[in-house]
Amino acid sequence: MRLRTVGSLAALAFAMLAAPASGEAVAPTVRGGAIFAERCKECHDPGDDRAPPRAVLATKTVDEIVAALTTGPMAPVAEGLTPDDKRAVATYLTAK
């Protein structure tokens, strides 16, 4: 019984993270947090001699971050992210 519940919760969480089409159902900050952990954290948290730390990214606007991910220096690392994904991670980073 217990095991089945845990299993279906895990399946649900996986479905929410894995299916971009259902992204709207997940709060952008939750989705953005998952993307940050997976795609950005290794360089930006805590940051390194080239990559600005997360606290510096947080001072930018959503549009600036989306632009960096689309046409700016981060376009190569953001490859494969949808426009919604980019906005979600930017919203997550700039959320107060």
**What size, in residues, is the chain?**
96
Q: Does 16 bind ligand HEC (CB under 6 A)?
A: no
- Contact status: 34 vs ligand HEC (CB under 6 A): no
The answer to the question of residue 57 lying near ligand HEC (CB under 6 A) is yes
Closest CB to ligand HEC among residues 16, 58: 58
Return the residue matching tokens 């991670």: 89
Concatenate the DSSP letters of all residues of 19-55 into one string.
Answer: -GGGGGGS-HHHHHHHHIIIIIHHHHSS--SSSPPHH
Contact of 81 with 87, CB cutoff 8 Å: no
CB of 18 to ligand HEC, least distance (A): 17
> Under the rule (CB under 6 A), what is the footprint of ligand HEC?
39-40, 42-44, 50-52, 57, 60, 65, 68-69, 72-74, 77-78, 89
